[in-house]
């Protein structure tokens, strides 16, 4: 399985990523081992989706990282907007 996930830190900053090992990847974020999220204050997993193929997960991650209607719709469903 492949996972697309959404992190949020104490300051309300979001990060979108994907991984085949969600637990390990979230742990890497929390330990500051990921360059792009190293400066986040206490990143927490707020949402994830599971996909059968890496291609589908990458596609969804790309859509969310455009921060358009897909991302805004997700935030609305999660009651962040």
The per-residue pLDDT string of the chain (81 residues; one tens digit each, 9 = 90 and over) reads 999 999 999 999 999 999 999 999 999 999 999 999 999 989 999 999 999 999 999 999 999 999 999 999 999 999 987
Residue 58's domain is classified under what CATH number? 3.40.1440.10
Q: How many domains are there within the chain?
A: 1
Quick check: 28 and 34 in contact, CB under 8 A? yes
User: Nearest Cα to 58, choosing from 17, 28, 23, 29?
Assistant: 17
Q: What's the pTM?
A: 0.94
Residue 72 lies in domain: 2-77
User: What per-residue confidence (pLDDT) applies to 64?
Assistant: 97
């Amino acid at each position: 399985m492949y996972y697309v996930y959404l992190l949020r830190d104490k300051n309300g900053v979001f990060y979108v990523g994907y991984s085949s090992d969600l637990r390990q990847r979230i742990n890497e974020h929390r330990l500051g081992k990921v360059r792009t999220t190293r400066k986040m204050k206490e990143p927490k997993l707020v949402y994830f989706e599971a996909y059968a193929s890496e291609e589908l997960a990458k596609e969804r991650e790309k859509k969310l990282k455009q921060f358009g209607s897909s991302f805004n719709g997700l935030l609305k469903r999660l009651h962040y907007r």
